[in-house]
Copies of this chain bind each other. A is one copy, B any other.
Amino acid sequence: MSEGSGSWGSQLRKGVLELAVLGLLAGEPRYGSSLVDDLAGRPGLAITAGTVYPLLARLAKAGSVTTTWRESPVGPPRKYYALTDSGRRRLDVMSQEFDTVAAALAGILKGES
């Protein structure tokens, strides 16, 4: 060990990914693979298909998103996930919480007691 800088990424992500997905859905409805491809280009937020689908299923079950099937011009049908009002509220809450945590963390790293 002594390294593990690679494993660190996967720890931090926990929970943050939900916020990232909700944030992306706030722009417009999207389908799973699109989310995976998008997040792959955002350092620290890369996600795999095996992670995003259970996450989306959880969000649907919680009523944060609704789903709609649409045809694709180039392949199998796509399942679009759209944010509900409840989902948007959740996004707001989580976003605020993240800021709180980030601020608390910044305080610690600056040596505030």
Contacts and interface: CB of A to CB of B under 8 A. Distances in A.
Interface of A: 1-5, 8-16, 18-20, 23-24, 26-27, 38, 42-45, 62-63, 86, 90, 93-95, 97-98, 100-102, 104-105, 107-109, 111, 113
A109 to B, nearest CB: 5
Contact of A1 (B10, B62, B94): B62
Instruction: Report which residue of A44, A86, A97 has the largest number of chain B beta carbons within 10 angstroms of its beta carbon.
Output: A44
A57 B86 CA distance: 40
Contacts of A11: 14-15, 18
A96 to B, nearest CB: 10
Contact of A100 (B19, B43, B86): B43
